[in-house]
């Protein structure tokens, strides 16, 4: 598998994960709305159950809005461009772990190897930013050597 094929597969898995999160949140929104509708009009002006359902719906809607922002961020990554240094959209291979600088989506397994989709806001990215293959750094007391960036 070429570097660009690996990058595309990582991006596809991230998008797949995010689509699932967005769809799950939509189901929660729909369920809270359905329950609220079935409950009917508030029994009195202090009807806590109806208020709770509507708050839940609104909370899930806010989470879904944030998930959509993450999706837009993922869709802005170009898989055709091979990068030479650690930056947004880069796949970073080190002697310790493999990273995909995209969004904080956690562990992704591809062909038996683990990659971690990280956000550019996390401390490890801040330490790795603008580094190139062969560079070394110390992060949290651990020495890390970059083996590839693309």
C-alpha angle 95-99-101 in degrees, rounded to nearest 5: 145
pLDDT at res. 40: 78
Question: Using one digit for the tens of pLDDT, what is the confidence trace for 87-123?
Answer: 999 999 999 999 999 999 999 999 999 999 999 999 9
**Which alpha helices (DSSP H) does 40-146 contain, by range?**
48-75, 123-128
pTM as predicted? 0.89
**What's the pLDDT tens digit per position in 25-73?**
999 999 999 998 998 777 777 778 888 999 999 999 999 999 999 999 9
What is the predicted pLDDT for the residue at 48? 87
The residue among 92, 91, 107, 87 whose CA lies nearest residue 17 is 107
């Amino acid at each position: 598998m070429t570097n660009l094929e690996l990058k595309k597969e990582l991006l596809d898995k991230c998008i797949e994960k995010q689509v699932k999160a967005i769809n799950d949140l939509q189901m929660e929104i729909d369920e809270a709305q359905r329950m609220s509708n079935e409950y009917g009009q508030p029994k009195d002006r202090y009807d806590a159950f109806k208020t709770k359902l509507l708050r839940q719906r609104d909370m899930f809607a806010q989470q879904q809005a944030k998930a959509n922002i993450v999706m837009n961020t993922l869709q802005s990554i170009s898989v055709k461009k091979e990068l030479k240094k650690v930056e947004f959209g880069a796949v970073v291979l080190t002697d310790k772990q493999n990273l995909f600088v995209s969004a904080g989506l956690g562990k992704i397994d591809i062909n038996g190897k683990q990659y971690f989709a990280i956000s550019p806001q996390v401390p490890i990215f801040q330490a790795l930013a603008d580094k190139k293959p062969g560079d070394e750094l110390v992060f949290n007391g651990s020495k890390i050597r970059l083996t590839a960036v693309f």
